[in-house]
Chain A
Amino acid sequence: MPLYFSEREVVIPGQLLSDNGKHGGEGTYVIGGKVYAAQVGIAVRKNNKVSVIAFKGVYKPQPGDRVIGIVTDVKPNGYEVMLSRHLSGNMRIPDRREVKSFNLKVGDVIYAKIKESGLRGVMLDPSDRVKKIEEGILVSIHPAKVSRLIGRRGSMINMIKRLTGCEIIMGRNGMIIVKGPNPKSEFAAISAIKMVESEAHTQGLTERVENMIKNIMEGER
């Protein structure tokens, strides 16, 4: 297929990417059978689709995503959960008598799965392993950087977990829970997460993160 960009080129909204309207992927739009970029990001070719990996942008909920949210309201038939600044989801519980059994208060942090996302808003699935987070530090990063933090087949996040010994729970919406054996390792893990967020599109990041974690973990304080 004819392309109008070089691999991993930074593109801006309105830039022509492809002549074939069937190739439009995420971060693009199609007008008149041609694909154009809709966001600032890196243009890539994947599975016969042209898509733009945005540098910034808001979280777009997809069914099946596991997210971390904060309970903002307790209703007779369920809970309202804040997922990000612009997005709140509802967890509707079919049997009203069971609402109490979740034992959630306003301000509690939960880990849940998105059941559906559409015009009626975001629905969380109450039957699929909803977990109340009892302790840990809530870190929030840009949702666009979550996939970088996971890395290829989990390489990045597993490395951070292994080196710091922290337990890390990640939500697709950019909220992350860090729970570690001591403040130093928690600090190392959070620093690493922040570093990945700010330098997500640079080369050789894994090595630099590894070095930084080692430096912190071996330091006196």
Chain B
Amino acid sequence: MEKPKLISEDGVRVDGRRLDELRPIKMEVGVLDKSDGSAYVEFGKTKVFAAVFGPREVHPKHLALPERAILNCRYHMTSFSVEDRKPLGMTRREVELSKVIREALESIVFLEEFPRTSIDIYVEVIQADGGTRTTGLTAASLALADAGIPMADMIAAVAVGKVEGHLVLDVCDIEDKYGEADLPVAMAPRLNSIVLLQLNGRLSREEFQKAMALAREGISKIYQMQREALKRKYSSVEEG
């Protein structure tokens, strides 16, 4: 397929957004009955469920650690989430993303409160349109909070891309495919620490600085929405 025109002369992107605009975001907490905590997050056409189980007993038992809990994370894309059917099972990419999401979450969860247990996190991508790891991480931290697991902060994440020489916030699939660079960033906003940072492609030093500033802006907006989503769930119970 030929490369489409991604940014018009007056700075409007393929899906009609400005350069520093997020996609329409929807967040809901406590959507899955059988899990201890769950969340559903939508960034435009990217749709992700996250479920948390535990702390529960570790199986097989020898994996348990005597001084802290272990965190298991599975990032998985459903076979119907992409245009060409994805074969069942974990691909190389999914195993890697599971690892980076797990490591990001390990930095905020107080694991030492639950020795000899495991906390299992399942991130299921229902529809993929770019930015699934950041959406997944956003959903996973909401689900952990919903499960009542003690943690130092929430995690909000967004990707910044370089498309036709412009830095754009929250890249979608087509921008990611034909763009020059993709920089997913996840932060714990209160701790002000970066918990995930990857870069595909090339950015100059100045571009990187600008991209991080752009990401920070997006993350603070996403964090605000996470806050509202959590508060909304519990205030709605109060009325009923």
User: Which residues of chain B have C-beta atoms less than 8 A from A55's C-beta?
Assistant: 148, 234
Question: Is B133 close to A, CB under 8 A?
Answer: no
Given contacts A13-B145, A55-B148, contact A86 B55 (CB under 8 A): yes
| B135-156 contacts to A (CB < 8 Å) | 145-154
What is the chain A residue whose CB lies nearest that of B69?
Answer: A86
Interface residues of A, dominant DSSP = loop
A57 CA / B113 CA spacing, docked (Å): 12
Interface range on chain A: under 10, 10 to 19, 20 to 34, or 35 or more?
20 to 34
Residue of B nearest to A120 (CB): B66
Cα A204 to Cα B150 with chains together (Å): 29
**Across-interface contacts of B148 in A (CB, < 8 A):** 39-41, 54-58, 144
In the bound assembly, the distance between CA atoms of A144 and B36 in angstroms comes to: 13
Question: Counting CB contacts under 8 A, is A12 at the interface?
Answer: yes
Q: Say if the beta carbon of A69 comes within 8 Å of chain B.
A: no
Given known contacts A36-B190, A119-B115, is B152 in contact with A10 (CB within 8 Å)? no
- Judging by beta carbons under 8 Å apart, are B238 and A202 in contact? yes
B26 in contact (CB, < 8 A): no
**Contact B240–A199 (Cβ < 8 Å):** yes
Residue of A nearest to B57 (CB): A86
**B178 contacts the other chain (CB 8 A):** no
Q: Mark B193-227, 1 if CB is under 8 A from A, else 0.
A: 00000000000000000000000000000000011
Q: A40-B145, A40-B146, A119-B66 are in contact. Are A13 and B154 (CB under 8 A)?
A: yes
- Chain B nearest CB, measured from A208 CB (Å): 11
Residues of B within 8 Å of A36, CB to CB, are 152, 190
Interface residues contributed by chain B, number (CB under 8 Å): 38
User: B230 in the interface, Cβ–Cβ < 8 Å?
Assistant: yes
**Contact present for A86 and B114 (CB under 8 Å):** yes
CB closest chain-A residue, reference B223:
A14
* B117 interface residue per 8 A CB criterion: yes
Q: How far is the CA of A12 from the CA of B227 in the complex (A)?
A: 7
- Whether A29 contacts B114 in the complex (CB less than 8 A), given A39-B148, A85-B56, comes out as no
B37 near A: Cβ within 8 Å?
yes
Chain A residue at minimal CB-CB distance from B226: A12
Which B residues are CB-close (under 8 A) to A31?
A: 152
User: With contacts A36-B190, A58-B148 known, what are 10 further pairs, Cβ within 8 A?
Assistant: A10-B230, A10-B234, A14-B188, A27-B150, A40-B146, A40-B148, A55-B234, A86-B54, A119-B67, A144-B148
20 example contacts (A-B, Cβ-Cβ < 8 A) are as follows A10-B234, A12-B154, A13-B108, A13-B150, A14-B153, A14-B190, A14-B191, A15-B190, A29-B110, A29-B150, A36-B152, A38-B110, A39-B150, A40-B146, A56-B147, A58-B148, A86-B114, A88-B57, A119-B66, A201-B237
